[in-house]
Structure 1
């Protein structure tokens, strides 16, 4: 270069933009401060809702432990062939006891007495029927017999001896439950009940 301005020496000035390093450092520091404050606030909220329990705070990533339930066992009910049924007619319609007894026999039940109902029940049963047995039959024989006559009332007699049960036919009786429906109801009785699931640590 010539003229009025001349460059002397062996060092030349470098042309560059003004440095902004200081501003970048300030912005970075401010961002870190904001993130730190947000993280601290989150931890404080967790402490508030969990009571400050370290195990609870760690539980944010933990899965609730599930206590294994015992395996459900199918209900044990007697087979129809082990149940002796007395069929008693409490209505004014003749022949119902014998007809019903024959149907029950075809379905595998043992048949005991077939007759008119005793004075206690004769012409006094307005429903489809009454199933009567000893206390021990409440959760054994009566449910099995009850599957054959939907809607029948179940009763027990503490003073009654033996294992025989009575089917007392009432005024609303129109016949036994259809065999397919009775078999389905009986199968439902023997299905195991699902065991409840117990959760811990939630």
Structure 2
């Protein structure tokens, strides 16, 4: 052969193009890997937003949410009804150095429908020792029934119960910060809210 293909020794030039099969195999493998990773990532995103795609789990979560949003019958039945002022007897006791407060306060409570028991100075346990507006004291059974009703008449008063106390009477012990009972209109609004509380809103997480 002549020209550039002339044979000059024992080495012969290649007359065909080099094979590219190796490159094609590598490219095919790389493409498959990319597609596989992309598909796996898509499945992971779907699992995150759908909770794994488990319909039974989704139904169970929805049922649990519905159950949590509604109070049980036992919880509703456990609520104790509030008492009317006319069924509550209040002893008005003055623990301050100002005279006449017990009688004046008792007269106002009577106008608001409460029954009045003893009107006197506070016993030594409380006399000149109540720094706040007052203390409302009653038996343990009055905590969720009578005490909230009386508490509406003197906002800010401390509420206490005595498990050893006999009877159903309450004590209103007037303290140094006492400036009078809560305005009747405000007390009536508080009683209305106690008698008909707003339902607890359902959780927005559902």
Residue 143 of structure 2 is aligned to residue 144 of structure 1: no
**Of 70, 80, 96, which aligns to 1:91?**
96
| Aligned position for 1:7 | none
Give the paired residue count: 162
Q: Which has the higher contact order (CA 8 A, sep 6+)?
A: 1
| Aligned position for 1:80 | 85
Q: Which aligned pairs between 1:31-70 and structure 2 lie closer than 5 A?
A: 44-49=43-48, 53-55=52-54, 67=66, 69-70=70-71
SS at match of 2:86: helix
What is the CA–CA distance in structure 2 between the aligned matches of 1:51 and 1:177, rounded to whole Å?
Answer: 54
| Aligned position for 1:24 | none
Contact 1:67–1:198 (8 Å) recurs in 2: no
Contact 1:127–1:173 (8 Å) recurs in 2: yes
Contact 1:70–1:195 (8 Å) recurs in 2: no
What is the CA–CA distance in structure 1 between the aligned matches of 2:203 and 2:176, rounded to whole Å?
Answer: 48
Instruction: Describe the shift of the 1:128–1:49 C-alpha distance in structure 2 as closer, same or farther (beyond 3 A).
Output: closer
What is the CA–CA distance in structure 2 between the aligned matches of 1:92 and 1:110, rounded to whole Å?
Answer: 25
| Aligned position for 1:110 | 115
Unmatched 5+ residue regions in structure 2? 1-34
Q: What is the TM-score with the length of structure 1 in the denominator?
A: 0.67
- What are the Cα deviations for residues 4-40 of structure 1, in whole angstroms up to 9, with x where unaligned? xxxxxxxxxxxxxxxxxxxxxxxxxxxxxxxxx8xx6
Instruction: Describe the shift of the 1:54–1:169 C-alpha distance in structure 2 as closer, same or farther (beyond 3 A).
Output: closer
Instruction: Describe the shift of the 1:184–1:67 C-alpha distance in structure 2 as closer, same or farther (beyond 3 A).
Output: same
Residue 186 of structure 2 is aligned to residue 186 of structure 1: no
Q: What is the TM-score with the length of structure 2 in the denominator?
A: 0.66
**How many Å apart are 1:76 and its aligned residue?**
1.5
What is the CA–CA distance in structure 2 between the aligned matches of 1:82 and 1:185, rounded to whole Å?
Answer: 18
Give me the CA root mean square deviation. Answer: 3.5
SS at match of 1:87: strand
Contact 1:75–1:192 (8 Å) recurs in 2: no
What is the CA–CA distance in structure 1 between the aligned matches of 2:178 and 2:97, rounded to whole Å?
Answer: 12
Unmatched 5+ residue regions in structure 1? 1-36
**How many Å apart are 1:143 and its aligned residue?**
0.8
What is the CA–CA distance in structure 2 between the aligned matches of 1:171 and 1:145, rounded to whole Å?
Answer: 19
Hey, which of these two has a bigger chunk of helix by percent? Answer: 2
**How many Å apart are 1:197 and its aligned residue?**
3.2
